[in-house]
Structures are given as C-alpha cells and as structure tokens.
C-alpha cells in the first residue's frame, strides 16, 4: 500500500457464538462461529492489505467472550468496535450428528449480541467510517424491533453516503415472531442494500418464488442494486438489472461438511467486487471458494 494511502474498512455486523462440536464419549471441541463472522473470515482472506476487516457485535465480560475476542484478533479480524457488556455472555450452540446429518441446538436468548444496536451513537460512528458493510437476516432477527429499525436506518444512510451495503437474508424462521414479520423486514433490508445474496431454497418456501429468476426480480423490485442467488449445486444467478447470467458451480464429488458454504461464497464474492472485478468473475471465484469449504470439516478453513 502506498505511503499515506487511506486504509479501507470492511465492517461485518452480527452475532458470533461459542460452538461445541464433536461429542464423542461426551467430549466436545470448543470453537467460535456465526454467519456474519464466517463471511468476514473469507472476505479478509481475499481482500488486500489496504483493507481493515472489523467485526461489529456485543460480547460479555466472561472468559469465553475474551477468548472469542482473542480468536478474532488473532485471525486478522479487528475487534476495535466490539462492545463489552458487563454481566452478559455470548450465545452457545452444540452440533450433534444424527442419521448422517448435522443438527444444531442453540442457547442464545440472553446473548450479549442481542444488544449490539442499543448504543445508537456507537453504531452510527462505526458505520460512518466503513466503505463496505455486511449484515444478515440473523443480525436483524436477534434484535428488538426498535433496534432493528435503528440499524436499518443507519445502514440506509451509509449506502446513501457511498458505502457498499451487502445483505444475506439467511432465513431462520425460528428466530422471528412470525413469518409475516420476517418477510417484511427482509424486504426492507433488501431495499437499502447495494448487494443481496439470498439462497433460493431458503427464500422460496416463504416468498413463493418458483425460480431463481423470481427471487432476483423480487429483490431488484425492492430496491437492491445487485442480486446473486445461490442454489446449492445448481447454477448461481447473477443480476444487476442490466446484466443477468447463470453460472455453473464447481462440481464436488464428496461433500464433507456444507456448513458455512454460503457464507464463504458471500465473503469471496464481496472481496472480488470490492477489488473491482465484474459480477460474473466475482461469482466464479466465490463458487470456487464455496466448493473448497465443503470439502473440509467446519465453516472456517485457513487454506483459502
């Protein structure tokens, strides 16, 4: 980076949780993960040294929150904007295997991350300095209604001032009071976003989309500038309103673990777009990243 050049800022907003996996003979391995953290991880891997990647969340003042912060900082994801809330704790989930598939049990009702948007001034200051901001439907779902609206208003302001705002609906109906509220908020979030990164099989049951083209059309009509529809092993649909293209994804003979594949796609796609690559080129790079991730155990891999 040339001397005196300004560092650019990528900000990911959401919840990082304590993860317990394994479980053989009652023994579990502890780690840290979350959809918006996973995306920040892969964006960090593909952005240059002129980018600072930071995570915006809230944690407690316990040992596991401190370990989480050390993990993030140790892997190049800045915690300078993380809020520490005394007496709170991070959320927790356990991964267990059943019938050859992974199942998740969560404890997050009282997690510190649910308060991440409570300090309006801190939120505004953090987003005002960001060149790119990423958030998800999970980010929105864990917040109280008033704080959710505050976050969306701040993000809309950031986009109007020139920041790239990216959103993955990442639909999790169990986190929402009802499906109607979920659809309304997700549509509102898309309306203030530069890029929307949905997954067709997640969206279709709740929005009635019969094809990825309908998913694209719905988000473009809401106000999104660019839509990239992920669809498992099927082609990715990329549209900006001016271009619309389907791109085949890399075939994977054996899927080891699909956890985090969509998040990895998002991180690689956003990094490529922020480096100035065209949507089609970015989607191809993102598909390769997702294919690499599903060949490994866990959402976060270091071989990127």
Where in the sequence numbering do the catalytic residues fall? Answer: 263
Which among 79, 38, 42 has a CA at the least distance from the CA of 58? Answer: 79
For the purposes of burial, counting CB atoms within 10 Å of the CB of 110, is it exposed (0-12), middle (13-18) or buried (19 or more)? exposed
Beta strands in the chain (DSSP E): 8-13, 17-22, 28-33, 51-56, 58-59, 83-84, 92-98, 101-107, 132-136, 164-168, 195-196, 226-229, 236-239, 244-247
- Radius of gyration over alpha carbons of the chain, in Å? 18
Which among 41, 235, 234, 236 has a CA at the least distance from the CA of 226? Answer: 236
DSSP characters for 114-180?
GGTTS-HHHHHHHHHT-SEEEEEHHHHHTS-HHHHHHHHHHHHHHHHTT-EEEEE----GGGSS-HH
Distance from C-alpha of 216 to C-alpha of 197, rounded to nearest angstrom:
10
Contact by Cβ (8 Å): 221, 299: no
């Amino acid at each position: 980076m040339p001397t005196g050049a300004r560092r650019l800022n990528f900000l990911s907003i959401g919840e990082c949780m304590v993860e317990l996996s394994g479980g053989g003979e009652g023994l579990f391995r502890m780690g840290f993960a979350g959809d918006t953290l996973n995306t920040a991880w892969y964006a960090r891997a593909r952005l240059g040294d002129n980018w600072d990647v930071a995570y915006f969340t809230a944690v407690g003042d316990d040992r596991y929150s401190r370990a989480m912060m050390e993990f993030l900082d140790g892997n190049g994801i800045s915690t300078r904007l993380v809020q520490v809330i005394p007496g709170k704790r991070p959320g927790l989930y356990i991964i267990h295997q059943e019938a050859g598939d992974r199942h998740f049990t969560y404890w997050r009702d009282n997690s510190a991350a649910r308060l991440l948007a409570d300090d309006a001034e801190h939120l505004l200051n953090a987003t005002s300095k960001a060149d790119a901001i990423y958030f998800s439907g999970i980010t929105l779902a864990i917040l109280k209604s008033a704080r959710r609206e505050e976050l969306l208003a701040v993000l809309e302001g950031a986009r109007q001032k020139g920041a790239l705002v990216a959103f993955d609906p990442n639909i999790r109906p169990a986190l929402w009071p009802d499906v109607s509220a979920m659809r309304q908020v997700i549509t509102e979030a898309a309306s203030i976003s530069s890029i929307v990164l949905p997954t067709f099989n997640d969206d279709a049951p709740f929005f009635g989309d019969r094809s990825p083209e309908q998913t694209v059309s719905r988000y473009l009509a809401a106000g999104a500038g660019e839509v990239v529809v992920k669809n498992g092993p099927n082609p990715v649909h990329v549209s900006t309103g001016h271009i619309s293209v389907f791109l085949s994804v890399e075939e994977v003979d054996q899927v080891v673990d699909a956890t985090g594949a969509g998040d990895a796609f998002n991180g690689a796609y956003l990094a490529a777009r922020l480096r100035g690559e065209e949507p089609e080129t970015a989607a191809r790079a993102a598909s390769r990243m997702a294919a690499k991730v599903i060949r490994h155990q866990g959402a976060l891999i270091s071989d990127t």
